[in-house]
Amino acid sequence: MPTHKTPAQPDTRQPRQARLRIGIVGGGIGGVALAVALSRRSDLEVHLFEAAERFSEIGAGVSFGPNAVRAISLLGLEAAYRRIADASPAPCEDVWFEWRRGRDEAYLTASLAPGCGQSSVHRADFLDAIVAHLPAGIAHFGKRCQAVVQDAEGISVSFADGSEFRGDLLIGFDGIKSAVREHVLPVADFGEVGPRWSGTQAYRGLVPVERLRRALQEAGCDERLAVVPQMYLGTDRHILTFPVKQAALINVVAFVTDRSCPEPQLPEGAPWVVEVSQQAMLEDFPGWGAASKAILGCIDQPTRWALHELPELPRYARDRVLIVGDAAHAMLPHQGAGAGQALEDAYVLAGLLSDPHAERNNVAAVLAAFEAARHARTRRVQATSREAGDVYECRGDGIGADEARLAADLERRFDWLWQHDPRDDVALARRRLKWPTPAVAVAGDTELPTT
């Protein structure tokens, strides 16, 4: 697992004077991006709590649509991102994915994201890039959240190491297995709202691009399939490829879905991620074409991931406590949208909390306004990410295996998702709060309200 530099840990027992004292639980991409944005305000005291002993990310490549790249820019992280990001190669700069028939690689259509294309990074590289912007004295490690209590004056968080944090508000950016979520949505009131298996397993691997080029050439396939992002579609299965690590590696994910029952269950105690043999993976794609076999044949030691998601939650905020990112709306990866939604959350929340009108006595109203601005969009992204997997695997409602309808859907499916501007969410929340129109300070790529 990649590791990351760990800033010195501060003493959180004695609060200093600040407009707001903010706790963030979870040191992944979204949590760190939020902490970086908030740390630019001298009137905010920010503490980031990570359960692990250092910053780390699991997984390999992550894809960002135009909306996510826009959020990265607004958060002031575009320069850091551009240094490590991959893109669709010329002359296919605008291609997000080309779509092909899995059994013979026949071209169906392409989804285009003008000016962006397939913008992607290795997860660990991106976390490294944004951690570099995090000031010393903000991050705390080995802090596994155990309990959250709030009262009229603030929140208290207890950690497994016996330490505590007292602040004005708490942001749960702690992922699909969030500890903060149970406080926001108590089981006694809302029932079980934890992760559920989607029925989909995903085989993952990173392949050196030159090895994949050779394999495709030997299989009689066009070598461009190695570097132009591709999706190969079939019944209950699909395979995707796109470059990472400055196109030195190709991220490969091969999906297989069991649709035999409406509520699939993993065996009790089964791990979400396991190592499997290449042969087991290949046996899950019988009858697929030469390119698909060549791609999978380059993954010597695949891992298989049981893909989980959250149900669409009724709320994200409870007074002074808010869940965001995967803690609130963990989704399937079929639109490449999960990390982008976390970054949109981070920008919108930073925009509200950075405003001097956000004070101790109105924290609950600010978090409620955030929820009102974001809830419908994130739930829709969850739902359409699930639907997209059905479309790719020839199970889409009204589409099935009809290739003309499939192509038409894929050409327009992502427009609403990509065209969104999170500044509109900030404006919506501000109107709800009846705040005046702010002056806007632009420092580098950052655009957040200030006095």
**Digit-coded pLDDT (tens) for 219-233:** 999 999 999 999 999
- Tell me the C-alpha distance between 423 and 37, whole Å: 15
- What are residue 206's phi and psi, to 5 degrees? -115, 130
- What are residue 183's phi and psi, to 5 degrees? -70, -40
- Tell me the C-alpha distance between 245 and 82, whole Å: 12
Q: Is the confidence at residue 446, as pLDDT, over 80?
A: no
Up-side HSE of residue 362: CA atoms within 13 Å toward CB? 17
- Tell me the C-alpha distance between 180 and 57, whole Å: 20
Which token pair is 287?
């009858």
Q: What is the pTM of this model?
A: 0.93
- For residues 38 and 46, the answer to whether their CB atoms sit within 8 Å is yes
**Considering 204, 304, 318, 377, which one is annotated as catalytic?**
204
Residue with the bigger pLDDT between 444 and 314: it is: 314
**What band does 14 get if pLDDT is binned at 50, 70 and 90?**
very low
Q: Which CATH class, in words, describes the domain spanning 97-116+196-309?
A: alpha beta
Mean pLDDT calculated for residue range 352-370: 98
- Tell me the C-alpha distance between 435 and 422, whole Å: 17
Whether 204 is catalytic is yes
Residue with the bigger pLDDT between 444 and 249: it is: 249
- For residues 308 and 195, the answer to whether their CB atoms sit within 8 Å is yes
Q: Is the confidence at residue 13, as pLDDT, over 70?
A: no
**What band does 59 get if pLDDT is binned at 50, 70 and 90?**
low
Whose tokens are 């190969």? That residue is 232
| 20-61+124-194+311-450 shares its CATH topology with 97-116+196-309 | no
Q: Is the confidence at residue 313, as pLDDT, over 50?
A: yes
Mean pLDDT calculated for residue range 352-372: 98
**Digit-coded pLDDT (tens) for 71-90:** 999 999 999 999 999 988 88
* 3-state DSSP assignment of residue 445: coil
**Digit-coded pLDDT (tens) for 135-159:** 999 999 999 999 999 999 999 999 9
Residue 15 pLDDT: 47
| Residue 359, CA distances (Å) to 205, 294, 314, 363, 391 in order | 47, 58, 26, 6, 46
Q: Which fold has domain 20-61+124-194+311-450?
A: FAD/NAD(P)-binding domain (3.50.50)
Residue 440 pLDDT: 53
* 3-state DSSP assignment of residue 103: coil
Q: Where are the beta strands (DSSP E) in 54-154?
A: 61-64, 95-101, 107-112, 119-122, 139-141, 145-150
Q: Is the confidence at residue 9, as pLDDT, over 50?
A: no
Cis omega before residue 91 (within 30°)?
Answer: yes
**Digit-coded pLDDT (tens) for 369-428:** 999 999 999 999 999 999 999 999 999 999 999 999 999 999 999 999 999 999 999 999
Q: Which of 71, 151, 70 is nearest to 115 (CA)?
A: 70
Residue with the bigger pLDDT between 31 and 10: it is: 31
What are the sequence ranges of the domains in the chain? 20-61+124-194+311-450, 97-116+196-309
